[in-house]
Amino acid sequence: MSTDSVNALTPVPTLPGQDEPLPVIAIDPAASENYFNRELSHLQFNYRVLKQALDSNHPLINRLIFCCIFSSNMDEFFEIRVAGLRQQMKYGRESVGPDGMLPEQLLSEISRVAHEHIHEQYDILNNVLIPEMEKEGINFVRRKEWTPAQAEWVQRYFEDEILPVVNPIGLDPSHPFPRLVNKSLNFIVELDGKDAFGRETGMAIVPAPRSLPRLVRLPDEVCDGGENLIFLSSMIHAHADELFPGMEVKGCYQFRLTRNADLELEDDLEDLASALRGELLSRRFGDGVRLEVADNCPEELVQFLLREFGLTERDLYQVHGPVNLTRLMAVSGLVNRPDLTYPGFSPAVPKQIRNKEIIFDAIRQQPVLLLHPFESFTPVIDFLRQAAKDPQVLAIRQTLYRTGADSEIVEALMDAARRGKEVTAVIELRARFDEAENLELASRLQESGVIVVYGVVGYKTHAKMILIVRREEGKLKRYVHLGTGNYHAGNARLYTDYSLLSCDDALGDDVNKLFQQLTGMGKALKIKKLFHAPFTLHRRLIELVDREAGYGTGGRIIFKINALTDPDLMQALYRASQAGVEVDLIIRGICCLKPGVPGLSENIRVRSIVGRFLEHTRVYHFGNHGRPETYCSSADGMVRNLVNRVEVAFPVDDRELAARLQDDLDAYLADNCQSWMLQPDGSYIQNHPGEGEERVAAQTVLLERLTGK
């Protein structure tokens, strides 16, 4: 953490009735009490997602999906963040962030907050969402409610689909407790009696077959109207005795273990791909970090499971309902109720591109800025497709972080290579939870003739760049795509991200140099327009913040990012606030900076937007005393992005496009219904329109502005 001296503080104004101003209390921007804890802020974001399940402005099925997304987010939080804290303690490597909290203290506070939030989640599910869905004719049919016809159908389904693949495991000296897969659905079963071999163990484990759906739709012919769904767990519970013939099943209870899923790779690997393949095998069986158990499970069985997994009461979550609510996302595909989901829309395509048969002609006239998902991702795909087929195109280079299994982007690269073009793909194998898919992707590309490299060991390649080299009028011309998101068409329909298509000579030269650094070796090359991590991005952002501080009350800063945890950048923002700069931070998730603290950050406002689409754009805007500068980036305000990754920030210096970006930011700052304001105590308060005030939702504004919907 930087320990630069505190800048001069803005004098405290005179209060009414006073002749002299209050004395200025020097507040050190580096002091630990001036920061929120990263992990606790992360939990706050997950909680804001959960709260969407109560917002009647969202369609009912999408409210259920928000409840499921909360579960998925919490899974990853335990797999990565909690697991990391436990690893620190296990190996005596405790470290603290700028807030100063120790891992043991933090784990206790995480447990307290997570238990509260998960309890509220099940309360929302059981007492709000399920009753509202029942009113709409969507029913989760419980065992005790089965009609004879439904029970008969379940019997056949169990015999035909479940029994042939389920594998019960009795526990005795020759059958030790099985090694269960991370986040798998399992049952602990109490038994009475002896089996065919005379064994009397009293206990068994039944892993639910991973090949079977967790939620099944009952046929209409055995129901009295409506949409009727049944849980796989209910069917296994109902017929558990058939898994242990001749024995009495005294109880059957769901549980699920969450394991450490982070991958640890050394920096001096000889073969990153081979090492990663080995690590992926261990991810499914890492150390346990959380145990979820049905709340009707007897205490002695709960304690037995905790001992088996080496966990304590702090790690135990007893839930009233299914132990994996993420699987409820299947509802949207099992019921046909479009009236209970968001209406569809067609992403817009700017006229500049729509009216040009050859996309390169459009880009030469003016750079193109796209905001997904309001504007289509198809032009980015067409950019590559046309390049693959264009005889004037000589070479294509691209970074790939996440692409999806069936990617048109990948098909275009393979097509280009087959046509004899020089195609290079820089694949980041360590994109979390996409590692296996990226290994397969690398193999496919190599088989088609694409040159594949894995970036730089020790620095994830997170930058989103495409470079196309085209011969025009006897000279080589470079075209680039730079983005804030991934080259994943599915994500482009769900995440907000910017794409810039340009043939600016300086940008093209910069991107070419970055690819040289990634694929070759040598000293860092001089870059003209881009800021790039790990070399210049961190330093330049802080310099620009400090420049605004130099303008005092004439300074202006707007950041729209996903997270802010970097101590140096936060201290720079504190200094700017102390100098009188107006600072608006639109931060979707984690924010360790404390806004609104007198003498430190009273000029800083932090808001989080949570809505239909996942906010993912990163924009850094500086007023620059009437000569505004705006940068879009793949990087958040985090140490891992600014120091430990390969990232880029690119300027949007076309006046028309820069004005459009400002309009977009203004829409987010005007949001009064999907925005949450961070308070000095770390809580968030949702904004609501005042009396007589028009309701403004930024995502709706952008949807209407760009698509007319």
Residue 75 tokens, joined: 């899974």
Backbone torsion region of residue 7, taken as left when φ is above 0, otherwise alpha when ψ lies between -120 and 50, otherwise beta = beta
List pLDDT tens digits, range 228-237.
Answer: 999 999 999 9
| CB environment 625-660: b (16+ within 10 A), e (fewer) | eeebebbbbbbbbbbbbbeebbbbbbbbbbeebbee
Q: What is the pLDDT of residue 10?
A: 34
Single pTM value for the model: 0.90
Residue 279 tokens, joined: 């690590």
**Distance from C-alpha of 649 to C-alpha of 564, rounded to nearest angstrom:** 16
**Distance from C-alpha of 3 to C-alpha of 28, rounded to nearest angstrom:** 9
351-519: CATH, from 3.30.870.10, 1.10.620.20, 3.40.1440.60, 3.40.50.150: 3.30.870.10
Tell which residue, 607, 488, 562, 611, has the closest CA to residue 65: 611
Domain 351-519 and domain 531-707 have a common topology: yes
- Catalytic site positions: 462
Residue with tokens 């007589």: 692
Phi/psi at 672 (5° precision): -125, 20
Phi/psi at 229 (5° precision): -120, 150
Question: Is 687 known to sit in a ligand binding site?
Answer: no
**Distance from C-alpha of 388 to C-alpha of 366, rounded to nearest angstrom:** 22
List pLDDT tens digits, range 219-258.
Answer: 999 999 899 999 999 999 999 999 998 888 999 999 999 9
Phi/psi at 604 (5° precision): -110, 130
| CB environment 150-159: b (16+ within 10 A), e (fewer) | beebbeebbe
Planar angle of CA 52, 54, 58, nearest 5 degrees:
60
DSSP 340: G
Residues in the chain: 709
Tell which residue, 433, 436, 560, 413, has the closest CA to residue 487: 413
Q: What is the pLDDT of residue 274?
A: 52
**Distance from C-alpha of 701 to C-alpha of 664, rounded to nearest angstrom:** 9
Distance, C-alpha 296 to centroid of its chain: 33
Q: What is the pLDDT of residue 192?
A: 84
**Distance from C-alpha of 314 to C-alpha of 128, rounded to nearest angstrom:** 28
Q: What is the pLDDT of residue 26?
A: 60
Tell which residue, 490, 163, 136, 141, has the closest CA to residue 336: 136
Q: What is the pLDDT of residue 438?
A: 67
**Distance from C-alpha of 306 to C-alpha of 490, rounded to nearest angstrom:** 39
**What fold characterizes domain 531-707?**
Endonuclease; Chain A (3.30.870)
Q: What is the pLDDT of residue 176?
A: 83
Q: What is the pLDDT of residue 275?
A: 47
Residue type at 394 in one-letter notation: L
Task: List, in sequence order, the alpha helices (H) in 473-615.
Answer: 505-519, 537-550, 567-578
Q: What is the pLDDT of residue 30?
A: 79
Pair 196, 213: CB distance under 8 Å: no
Q: What is the pLDDT of residue 170?
A: 87
Q: What is the pLDDT of residue 266?
A: 45
Q: What is the pLDDT of residue 276?
A: 44
Domain ranges of the chain: 103-340, 351-519, 531-707
Q: What is the pLDDT of residue 460?
A: 87
DSSP 647: E
Question: Is 588 known to sit in a ligand binding site?
Answer: yes
**Distance from C-alpha of 187 to C-alpha of 166, rounded to nearest angstrom:** 12
Segments of the chain with pLDDT less than 70: 1-26, 173-174, 194-201, 263-285, 405, 430-436, 438, 522
Question: Is 432 known to sit in a ligand binding site?
Answer: yes
**Distance from C-alpha of 689 to C-alpha of 692, rounded to nearest angstrom:** 8
Beta partners for 580?
none
Beta partners for 606?
585
Determine the CATH number of domain 103-340: 3.30.1840.10
Question: Is 277 known to sit in a ligand binding site?
Answer: no
